[in-house]
Amino acid sequence: MSAEPGATAGRMHTAADPIWTPVAIPPQLPARESMVAVPGSRLYYWDTGGSGQPIILLHAGTQSAAGWPYQQPVLAHAGYRVIAYSRRGYYRSDPCGPENSGVGAEDLHHLIVHLDLAKVDLVGAAQGGFFALDYVLAYPERVRSIAIVSSLMGVSEPDYQAVNARLRPEFFAKLPHDFQELSPSYRAGNPQGLSAWHELDKQAIPGKRVTERRTQPLTWARLESIKHPTLLLTGDSDLYTPPSLLRMQAQHMPHAEVAIVAEAGHSPYWEQPQVFNEILLAFLGKQK
């Protein structure tokens, strides 16, 4: 599958078996659970520990630190120190209101300093990608690579916003989360996984949803200034970030690797975890 001029060619990754085979959630490895103080609040995180290269997983807007069970043991077995945290108001983090929403990049930096990490790999899914990009722009020296998964990124440019308005009419926001985020293949073929995803969605935001602020708006020029190794990935059935939108993003990050996962929607790390993990590990392996 070709990308638009100026973008790295996209790769379509397919599941090995044409017949849907649900993937069971693997046993989790031991991880330390704790809280980190941030200005005016505390955030929950887990950390597999060890001396491996640290990877921080930034969750989607409908998930939390608990939304990575398919990645935790796989990345840890591969030798990485795996860390995930819940943003303000999310699962196990302190509840807070809009008046105390904080700045996402600064909260992430508090966690990185708290854990005494040098350079980290960031994996940002959906809304988590907003804060991964904001962090790499604010603290470029603390980041080794970034993987942006099915994320709108929060680009403020008029041409980008116009495309998104055409992709998702006003009624889209009123649709159920599973319809918005999970592919038809997944909803039809994996009822057990769908049920587990619903449970994580329900527990993610126990109170009122809070959206952390970013340090400044994301323009095309700011996006183009990022030179870190980058992976841009989405599912071919993603209603938020379809391949056409991913190619638009990639035009402004021509050094990025681009991958499209077949029969996956907005949550490819959950819907097609084996394919997703393979792509992510291959990308991370190149940074060594």
Classify burial at 121, counting beta carbons within 10 Å of its beta carbon; exposed 0-12, middle 13-18, buried 19 or more. buried
Residue 5: predicted pLDDT: 33
Following DSSP, what letter does each residue of the chain receive, concatenated? -PPPTTSPPEEEE--S-SS--PPPPPPPPP-EEEEEEETTEEEEEEE--SSSPEEEEE--TT--GGG-TTTHHHHHHTT-EEEEE--TTSTTSPP--GGG--BHHHHHHHHHHHTT-SSEEEEEETHHHHHHHHHHHH-GGGEEEEEEES--TTB--HHHHHHHHHHS-GGGGGS-HHHHHS-HHHHHH-HHHHHHHHHHHHHH-SSS----B-SS-B-HHHHHT--S-EEEEEETT-SSS-HHHHHHHHHT-TTSEEEEETT--S-HHHHSHHHHHHHHHHHHHHT-
Which pLDDT value is given to residue 1? Answer: 34
* Residue for token pair 């887990």: 46
Domains of the chain in sequence order: 10-286 (3.40.50.1820)
Whether 69 contacts 26, CB under 8 Å = yes
pLDDT tens, per residue, the chain with 288 residues? 333 333 344 577 766 565 678 899 999 999 999 999 999 999 999 999 999 999 999 999 999 999 999 999 999 999 999 999 999 999 999 998 888 999 999 999 999 999 999 999 999 999 999 999 999 999 999 999 999 999 999 999 999 999 999 999 999 999 999 999 999 999 999 999 999 999 999 999 998 888 999 999 999 999 999 999 999 999 999 999 999 999 999 999 999 999 999 999 999 999 999 999 999 999 999 997
- Going by C-alpha positions, the residue among 284, 179, 187, 188 that lies closest to residue 231 is 284
Rounded CA-CA distance 166/102 in Å is 31
Per-residue model confidence (pLDDT) at position 7: 38
Please tell me the distance from the alpha carbon of residue 182 to that of residue 254, in angstroms, as a whole number.
Answer: 28
Predicted local distance difference test score (pLDDT) of residue 17: 60
